[in-house]
Chain A
Amino acid sequence: QSALTQPASVSGSPGQSITISCTGTSSDVGSYNLVSWYQQHPDKAPKLMIYEVSKRPSGVSNRFSGSKSGNTASLTISGLQAEDEADYYCCSYAGVSTYVFGTGTKVTVL
């Protein structure tokens, strides 16, 4: 149950697009289309942003999109806004009712 690997930090200017990668293994990300992404602002609970690799829950901006290729999933934020500054975590189902989270990425809006 090793954590999925994410870059520690990603930054961008307002209006730009950024992409956060999430690398797992053939036992988790590579085996299931059950990758989700969470946004967490300081001292707040996480918020679901993407589920099943690329689906957005109701109410989440279409500036957030997800994709997957092999053992790596990605979250793209387009039209970066100040309110997007937060920590982002990926999560994958890993079989037998278990999950693994990513190491987390701090997004900074310059």
Chain B
Amino acid sequence: EVQLLESGGGLVQPGGSLRLSCAASGITFSSYAMNWVRQAPGKGLEWVSTIGGSGGSTSYTDSVKGRFTISRDNSKSTLYLQMNSLRAEDTAVYYCAKDYYMMSAFDIWGQGTMVTVSS
């Protein structure tokens, strides 16, 4: 069974940093692009970032460019999101999601990890 398990969320002050992790099991991790999607409390889904299977290509939504860095360790089947200069508007549940194939969709989602940015 394919599973994604996020960790690393928590309460952080504005301007602070946090690193999220997403451990994958049941798949050949390096074969798939991976993504981060977030959902602010009571709001809709927002795509945050994507990384290719080899880790060589990355993309970000405009609001996090220069502050967030997506990376992966294929030897550990783990996806990361380093979040710096956090703002109140980054408060959300962060989901990792597996690419179905060729950018078609997100077929497997983790349970999410909550990030709260507040003083």
Contact = CB atoms under 8 A, between A and B. Distances in A.
Interface of A: 1, 3, 34, 36, 38, 40, 45-48, 51-52, 57, 89, 91, 93, 96-104
B107 A104 contact: no
Interface string B87-109: 00000000101001001111101
A98 B109 CA distance: 18
Contacts of A102: 44
Contacts of B50: 97-99
Which of A1, A52, A99, A102 has the most C-beta atoms of chain B within 10 angstroms of its own C-beta?
A99
B27 interface: no
Contacts of B45: 38, 40, 46, 89, 91, 101, 104
A38 B47 CA distance: 13
Interface residues of B, number: 26
5 contacts: A36-B104, A91-B106, A93-B104, A96-B59, A97-B52
Contacts of B57: 97
Contacts of A34: 103-105
Interface of B: 33, 35, 37, 44-47, 50, 52, 57-59, 61-62, 95, 97, 100, 103-107, 109-112
A102 B47 CA distance: 10
A62 to B, nearest CB: 18
Contacts of A52: 104-105
A51 B47 contact: no
Contacts of A99: 35, 47, 50
Contacts of B44: 3, 89, 101-104
Given A89-B45, A97-B50, A104-B45, A46 B95 contact: yes
A110 to B, nearest CB: 23
Contact of A101 (B47, B59, B104): B47
A100 B47 contact: yes
B109 A46 contact: yes
Nearest to B57: A97
B95 A51 contact: no
A101 B57 CA distance: 21
A96 B103 CA distance: 10
